[in-house]
């Protein structure tokens, strides 16, 4: 039997139970029963009579449609079973434990009593029910859940004949080529056709002679959308899955046939094959509709912004390819980098362009004419596609942001040594760089050197912390919001500059302190937790606060698009329900608390 006070302490961290008066919470806690479940155990099946509402205390549970498709994976503090309880008392889905765990069960009569008596319960579970359950979607699946668990492999010294027989016997169209634990490359049936049969190559030739070395690969934590986007853009049919240099799986186009490609993948394909600027404009004009569909499908904000950013990445690379086709091959290697929201993979329905060019140190003065024109064609193309020119001229068309690698090193070292306000602003932007096209090695050299030097300079870190505290959440003095007082957006709050930007700034500083490579804000917060830069509880609270703010921002943009207006970042708090207003304010409080903690702990300069 679970101790009632232990259940009370747990329920105080779970909404909507946290809204109950203390005496009512204690009474409700006494109604819960405890059930231990083992991995693989079925909690209930579709059509079973439900005894109550389940709440995950420890472990994980997956919810399956009658067809067997997984539609949701739940963890601690998630509840399930309300859909059937609120309908006819029978389970509308099947629930199965994914790990050993502990479930709490609230009897059905008590759930219905609370639903009728507590407005917070009614709002919470009505909202959950109207959202419904969503069928499993390839784009939001993890690669680890899609790949073949035991990839078929061969050694580099094996003969082509032996490799072909291995593929035939296993019924696969590719082999991973490995040497011990090290992944070397891939050989496919197409290689057998084009590189062996077509040229009459001796079948006793080693596989190493025909394999593709160091092919494009994905990590297990990548999204299914990454598979689609890479395959469609690069026109390849096999993707190795690599973890710590080891081949752990293989994804092929055949593996994806049971999934329906969603519109984001269609837009990537159309952008990757576009032959003109008007074709690219036609692609990006469909992004607002995509945003509405993704938000309506209840995708999390990090998935929505990632998919939208993938499209702009593809458009950028296509513009680079079209420019090179007109101008000829580049005279020296270059790397086109994005910063800002594209760099962080956080683009929404409102995005300008921030980019730069890192050029090889072999660049000659005469080469700038080529790269100047390349930058103009790409930046103007992006502008025509809806990614407007940066108001601050932070683009590769500006000679200052089109420089050799050695000059970029000097830039960063100068900003670090002399952290004046301009240096802080430029550093904040440039620490969000991400390579988009060209030679990525140029960027990685710069990133590794810069992070190491910056993290060791305590004065620079203190200035960056101070700069990160300039954007504050819109908190009013008495349980309200500090809204804009005049102008077009009077009585609104800015969900960008006073919402997500304070968290973005915190994530950037955490990554600097910990010398962490991720650029995406959510990934930075999680990496900071893993590296011990912030506490586990602080990281969890901040991620949840960021999720709430970012999700409401996207929902507001989708609402504006549906009403025929252009999306923006301004929200009237009156447009939210009481529940949403309360929790949005709580999220802002968490952000402000973390800002105060960072400023106090690190001695931010004022």
Q: Where are the domains of the chain?
A: 4-128, 143-251, 274-456, 465-602
Q: How confident is the model at residue 15 (pLDDT cuts 50, 70, 90)?
A: confident
List residues bridging with 356 in a β-sheet: 337
The pLDDT value given to residue 448:
78
CATH architecture classification, 4-128: Sandwich (2.60)
pLDDT band at 65 (very low <50, low <70, confident <90, very high): confident
* Mean pLDDT calculated for residue range 261-266: 63
Confidence of residue 602 (pLDDT cuts 50, 70, 90): low
Share of the chain above pLDDT 70, in %: 92
User: How much is the average pLDDT of 287-296?
Assistant: 84
Q: What is the pLDDT of residue 478?
A: 56
Higher-confidence position of 500 and 420: 500
Is 123 in contact with 283 (CB distance < 8 Å)? no
Contacts 24+ apart (CB under 8 A), 453-460: 453/412, 453/413, 453/416, 454/412, 454/416, 454/427, 454/512, 455/512, 455/513, 455/514, 455/515, 457/416, 457/417, 459/419, 459/605, 460/415, 460/416, 460/417, 460/419, 460/427
What are the backbone angles phi and psi of residue 597, rounded to the nearest 5°? Answer: -65, -40
Residue 367 confidence class, pLDDT cut points 50, 70, 90: very high
Average pLDDT over residues 34-40: 94
| Interhelix angle 421-430/405-417, nearest 10 degrees | 130
Give the whole-number percent of the chain exceeding pLDDT 90. 51
pLDDT of residue 122: 78
Bridge partners of residue 494, in order along the sequence: 570
pLDDT per residue over 473-522, tens digit each?
998 765 578 899 899 999 999 999 999 999 999 999 999 899 888 899 99
CATH-assigned architecture of domain 143-251: Roll (3.10)
pLDDT digits (tens, 9 = 90+) for 274-286: 999 999 999 999 8
Distance CA(249)–CA(256), nearest Å, equals 14
Q: What angle do CA 491, 297, 138 make, to 5 degrees?
A: 140
Going by CATH, does the domain composed of 274-456 fall within 3.30.460.10? yes
The pTM score is 0.63
Predicted confidence band of residue 149 (pLDDT cuts 50, 70, 90)? low
Q: What is residue 235's predicted lDDT score, i.e. its pLDDT?
A: 83
Average pLDDT over residues 89-97: 89
Q: Which pLDDT belongs to residue 146?
A: 67
Average pLDDT, integer, range 196-213: 94
Average pLDDT (231-241) is 87
């Amino acid at each position: 039997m679970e101790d009632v006070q232990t259940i009370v302490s747990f329920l105080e961290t779970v909404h909507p139970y946290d809204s109950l008066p203390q005496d009512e919470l204690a009474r409700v806690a006494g109604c819960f029963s405890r059930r231990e479940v083992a991995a693989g155990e079925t909690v209930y099946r579709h059509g079973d009579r439900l005894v109550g509402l389940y709440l995950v205390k420890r472990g994980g549970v997956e919810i399956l449609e009658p067809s067997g498709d997984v539609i949701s994976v739940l963890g601690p503090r998630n509840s399930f079973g309300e859909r059937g309880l609120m309908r006819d008392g029978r389970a509308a889905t099947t629930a199965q434990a994914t790990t050993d765990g502990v479930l709490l069960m609230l009897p059905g009569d008590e759930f219905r009593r609370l639903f009728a008596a507590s407005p917070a319960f009614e709002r919470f579970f009505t909202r959950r029910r109207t959202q419904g359950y969503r069928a499993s979607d390839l784009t939001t699946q993890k690669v680890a859940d899609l790949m073949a668990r035991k990839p078929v492999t061969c050694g580099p010294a094996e003969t082509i004949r032996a490799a072909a027989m291995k593929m035939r016997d296993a019924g696969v169209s590719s082999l991973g080529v490995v040497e011990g634990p090290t992944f070397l490359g891939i050989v496919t049936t197409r290689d057998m056709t084009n590189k062996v049969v077509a040229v009459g190559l001796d079948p006793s030739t080693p596989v190493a002679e025909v394999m593709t070395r160091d092919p494009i690969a994905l990590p297990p934590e990548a999204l299914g959308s990454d598979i689609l986007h890479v395959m469609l853009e690069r026109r390849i049919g096999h993707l190795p899955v690599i973890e710590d240099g080891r081949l752990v799986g293989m994804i092929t186009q055949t593996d994806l046939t049971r999934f329906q490609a969603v519109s984001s993948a269609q837009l990537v394909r159309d952008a990757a094959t576009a032959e003109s600027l008007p074709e690219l404009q036609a692609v990006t004009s469909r992004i607002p509709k995509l945003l509405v569909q993704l938000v309506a499908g209840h995708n999390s904000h990090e998935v929505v912004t990632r998919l939208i950013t993938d499209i702009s990445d593809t458009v950028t690379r296509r513009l680079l390819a079209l420019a090179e086709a007109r101008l000829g091959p580049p005279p020296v290697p270059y790397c086109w980098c994005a910063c800002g929201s594209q760099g962080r993979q956080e683009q929404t329905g409102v995005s300008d362009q921030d980019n730069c060019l890192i050029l090889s140190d072999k660049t000659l003065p005469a080469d700038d004419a080529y790269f100047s024109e390349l930058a103009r064609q790409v930046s103007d193309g992006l502008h025509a596609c809806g990614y407007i020119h940066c108001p601050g001229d932070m683009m590769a068309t500006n000679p200052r942001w089109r420089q050799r690698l050695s000059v970029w090193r000097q830039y960063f070292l100068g900003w670090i040594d002399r952290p004046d306000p301009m240096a802080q602003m430029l550093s904040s932007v440039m620490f969000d760089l991400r390579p988009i096209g060209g030679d990525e090695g140029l960027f990685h050299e710069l990133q590794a050197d810069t992070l190491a030097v910056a993290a060791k300079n305590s004065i620079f870190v203190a200035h960056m912390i101070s700069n990160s505290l300039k954007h504050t959440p819109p908190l009013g003095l008495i349980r309200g919001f500090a809204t804009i007082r005049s102008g077009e957006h009077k009585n609104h709050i800015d969900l960008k500059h006073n919402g997500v930007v304070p968290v973005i700034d915190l994530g950037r500083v955490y990554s600097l302190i910990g010398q962490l490579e991720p650029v995406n804000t959510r990934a930075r917060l999680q990496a900071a937790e893993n590296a011990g830069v912030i506490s586990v509880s602080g990281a969890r609270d901040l991620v949840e606060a960021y999720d709430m703010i970012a999700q409401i921002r996207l929902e507001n943009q989708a609402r504006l698009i549906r009403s025929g207006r252009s999306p923006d970042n301004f929200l009237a708090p009156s447009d939210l329900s009481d529940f949403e207003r309360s929790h949005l304010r709580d999220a802002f409080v968490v952000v402000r608390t973390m800002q105060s903690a960072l400023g106090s702990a690190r001695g931010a300069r004022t």
